[in-house]
Amino acid sequence: MGNALKYIIAGILLCGCACSENGKDKPDDPVTPPEESKDVFQYTTTADKLRLFEETTYSFAKPGTAPQYVVKVTGDTYQTVEGFGAALTVSSCYNILKMPVKERTEFLRQVFDPENGIGCSLVRVAIGGCDFSWDYGESGLSEDGRFTWCDTEGIGNFAPHPMDVKYVIPVLKEIYSINPGVKVIGSPWTAPRWMKTDAKLSGAAHYSWTGGRLAPEHYGDYAAYFVKWIQYMKGQGVDVTAVTPQNEPLNAGNSMSMLMYWTDCRDFVKVLGPALKSAGLSTRILIFDHNYNYDNMADQVQYPLKVYQDSEASSYIAGSAWHNYGGNVSELDRIVREAPDKEIYFTEASIGTWNYSFASCLIHDFKDIFLGTLSRNGRGVTLWNLMLDDRNGPYTKANGSCTTCWGAVTIASANHVKVEPYTHYYNIAHCSKVIRPGAVRVGTSGYTAAGLTYQVYRNTDGTYGVIILNETDTGQQLVFTTQSHSVNCGVPAKGIVSLRWKD
């Protein structure tokens, strides 16, 4: 990160600063070679905030000088990774567009530039509104922030909603000017209200933003809605790599919501899949998009596996998407074991007033969301809002909106200049900086220890990317060896380290 970001960072530097206090040495670090040596790039963040994505560079280890804690990179290969990022809601984009042009450009470059920034390459957007689709009423475009792209009955009335046109599309276009490789996952919070029926599928209309189910007679209309949305985004230069049929399909309590039980998903996908194919769209379908514990609904347990049992539906489905507001990431073990050919994505988690401390969220989320998903063949991670302001918003005025959520970064509402990164920013940065799109997870053998977790990836440009978590109170020494080089690194107590080197 260059000096220009001093204008938009308050209190915390995105890429770190000094690594010791009061002249105190860091005994758990390796001896650092001369500064001009740049064989290996290391990035370090610690729970005590003494290092915040601090970059250091050093030479490959010389023969015979490596410590005993050797990890050998093997020839085994696993999944291909598409990337990491956060959600670009209307609210996030509203805050970003409030920034002065210079500071906004610097911020977006820092987040999305793969060379000079952290290189985020995957974002999630709402198809229509969500609980962060408002702008404090400034535009007058939406009374409470709830909308779809076809609020007037009849699919012929489909049109881009002004809130997305005003906020989300311009930010996406600026991002694509920085990184044309960014991919998008789209998720609707509800179908248009005129397409909904009651929860019992009795045929009664359910003209409400919340609850209800997609009426079977409108499956074709809703499939056309997806096709038109994807086509419009494509026309704007936005690559929609995947869609989910419904955000949180077992939760009727969001400010915008719709139930889509596994039977509904199975039947709708058999209409959506052919519609995408007929339109010549390669956009993939990811089902479920909800919690590990299935919101404690016994008949919905293993939702994706139930849908996969239908061979016709399964043929149109790339995989599943997951949130962690309930249950444990270990639920993915069964999903991967029984459907090894299906993709896994993590698509939403939030921090906020109910759960946040820097130390615990930094370590827990990196372990659970990133290492936990990736070790189970995860192909990508998106967290919730990229940016909210210091009033936790703007969030929609409707019941069910999250009024206590924080973004990966917070911006000062007084001037929209000062930016403070939170733990989700650092979690994303540690992965996106060293694991590039198209990277393949590779095997390792050798040293392991309780509280120490690491993964190694081979990037398409021939570099290696490594992510390491040390949960213990003691610094660790590690050396990673390939056929060509050895890399000796120190991993501080309660810290995250990322490495990248050209083999």
DSSP sequence for 204-265:
-B--SSSS-EE-GGGHHHHHHHHHHHHHHHHHTT--EEEE-S-SSTT---SSS--B--HHHH
Q: Which residues, at least 6 apart from 180, have a Cβ–Cβ distance to it below 8 Å?
A: none
Domains of the chain (ranges, CATH numbers): 3-79+440-502 (2.60.40.1180), 82-432 (3.20.20.80)
Give the pLDDT confidence of 243-280 residue by residue, as tens digits.
999 999 999 999 999 999 999 999 999 999 999 999 99
* Sheet strands side by side (includes 409-411): 387-389, 409-411, 419-421
Global confidence as pTM: 0.94
Q: How confident is the model over 179-224, as pLDDT tens digits?
A: 999 999 999 999 999 999 999 999 999 999 999 999 999 999 999 9
- The rounded mean pLDDT for the chain is 93
What span, in angstroms and rounded, lies between the C-alpha atoms of 431 and 465?
Answer: 9
pLDDT at 68: 83
Q: Pick from 346, 357, 351: which is nearest to 402 by CA?
A: 351
Which segments in the chain show pLDDT lower than 70?
Answer: 1-37, 65-66
**Contact indicator for 192, 215 with CB cutoff of 8 Å:** no
- How many alpha carbons lie under 13 Å from residue 467 in its C-beta half-sphere? 25
> 19-46, pLDDT tens digit by residue?
333 333 343 444 444 445 689 999 999 9
Structure tokens at 473: 């109170």
What's the pLDDT score for residue 401?
97
- How many residues make up the chain in this entry? 503
Q: What pLDDT is recorded for position 12?
A: 36
What pLDDT does residue 22 have?
A: 32
> Minimal CA–CA distance to 82: which of 185, 213, 227, 226?
185
